[in-house]
Amino acid sequence: MMHRIGGPHGVLSGEQAAGFVAARLAAEDLDGRSVCLVVPDGTRSCPLPMLVRAVHAALHGRVSRLTVLVALGTHAPMSDEELAAHVPALPGMTVLNHAWWEPSTFVSLGVIGAARVGELSGGLLHHEVDVRINRAVVEHDVALVVGPVFPHEVVGFSGGNKYFFPGVAHADVIDLSHWLGALITSADIIGTRGVTPVRALIDEAAALIPRRRLALCAVVGSGSGELHSLAFGPPEEAWAAAAEVSADVHVRYLDAPVRRVLSVMPDKYGDMWTAAKGFYKVEPVVADGGQVVVYAPHVRTISAMHPEIEEIGYHCRDYFTKQWDRFRHVHWGVLAHSTHLRGAGTYDAEHGERFRVTVTLATGVPEDVVRRANLDHLDPAAVDVDAFAADPDTLVVPQAGEVLYRLRG
């Protein structure tokens, strides 16, 4: 059964949140069981230390083992210092990075056949996938997701079973799910309520996990850590309840498109692989021929973990689909990221690429690297945020990356 506390218009106190967690976990048959907490990395706004303390207080002494697994997907691992700040050190609790780069990390849960993938994807993909997940999930009796829900460029709304796939999954599942999202396009899927084709694929994979699954889904104020809502129960139900609240909290509507957006990126996004969210979340409100400036002076690399992106650059979806033999060998997750940051466009052999909007990086990434990657460059030292904000044709988005902007109607 699913339970929820809070809603879009209020803020929960720490005492209310801890009381909810205690009551919900007290009602679960967890005595003597081992529990794996699957939590986000540092790229999501979340009062995670408070939530982990509440879970620990409710379970310590009841469960046989408590492990925290940080769902990196394919993000860079968190250092020991970062982990110590991210998850509190508590008695009897182990904290692990999802070591996606290490083959021994994974165990296979089974295969989703090509025909079934075709059904789930609405006919967009017909490709068999071996569903592999971090073995820590299946080496515990219960897997408990603890993390926030936001509008998301691949799946519609993040959270729930997404913490398993792609959060602690093998690259095969990540590539398939992200490429499916890219085929649909970020602009069409981001902030879509309900079960999107990518969510359906993720749920199908999660159903193969041979352990009990639960989720504590949070709706958090972007950049503030304020907790609007908590939902607890089976991941599918808790996620759906949280996504409805997130749709109210994390979506802003404009009456007309804007010519330019300046997305001011917080420090939690350490490379363009993650800071690209400053484009995803605003693309829908930019006028044809407009510009998005991603302002992140602290970002100095496109992606240390995925250097292929510098080799292929950023392109629209059709650039890859119409030259598939050239690119099918590249990790599909990398191709998906490329299309997500480049946005809508067209490609044909005669005219090349034509893009709906211009994407400009005002970052610490060297200009030659930016231009080779098929993006525009702006010296971050030349960015005057106040001057951008004074321009009536410009939208300045502080703490960009989590709040989605859409056109009304």
Task: Look up residue 386 and give its two tokens.
Answer: 């106040």
pLDDT of residue 175: 94
Contact by Cβ (8 Å): 73, 178: no
Q: Are residues 88 and 7 in the same domain?
A: yes
Task: Say how many domains are in the chain.
Answer: 2
Q: Are residues 236 and 257 in the same domain?
A: no
Distance CA 23, CA 216 (A): 12
Domain boundary, last residue among 204, 222, 249? 249
Q: Are residues 285 and 141 in the same domain?
A: no
Mean pLDDT by 10 residues, the chain (409 residues): 94 96 97 97 91 97 97 90 92 94 95 97 96 97 98 97 96 95 96 96 98 98 92 98 98 98 96 96 98 98 92 97 96 96 95 97 98 98 97 97 95
Q: Are residues 41 and 99 in the same domain?
A: yes
pLDDT of residue 43: 86
Q: Are residues 268 and 281 in the same domain?
A: yes
Q: Are residues 240 and 257 in the same domain?
A: no
pLDDT of residue 305: 87
Q: Are residues 94 and 184 in the same domain?
A: yes
Distance CA 185, CA 317 (A): 8
Task: Look up residue 360 and give its two tokens.
Answer: 């400009």
Q: Are residues 186 and 314 in the same domain?
A: no
pLDDT of residue 230: 98
Cα distances (Å, whole numbers) of residue 280 to 72, 86, 233: 19, 25, 30
Q: Are residues 262 and 326 in the same domain?
A: yes
Distance CA 277, CA 98 (A): 22
Give me the count of residues in the chain.
Answer: 409
Q: Are residues 103 and 166 in the same domain?
A: yes
23-38 in b/e form (b: 16+ CB < 10 A) is ebbeebebeebbbbbb
Q: What residues have CB less than 8 Å from 304, skipping those under 6 apart?
A: 76, 271
pLDDT of residue 223: 83
Domain boundary, last residue among 196, 220, 249? 249
Domain boundary, last residue among 196, 216, 249? 249
pLDDT of residue 1: 85
Task: Look up residue 150 and give its two tokens.
Answer: 């936001």
Contact by Cβ (8 Å): 156, 199: yes
Range of the domain at 188: 3-249
Domain of 23: which CATH number?
Answer: 3.40.50.11440
* pTM, two decimal places: 0.95
Q: Are residues 296 and 349 in the same domain?
A: yes
Task: Look up residue 213 and give its two tokens.
Answer: 């699954």
Q: Are residues 78 and 210 in the same domain?
A: yes
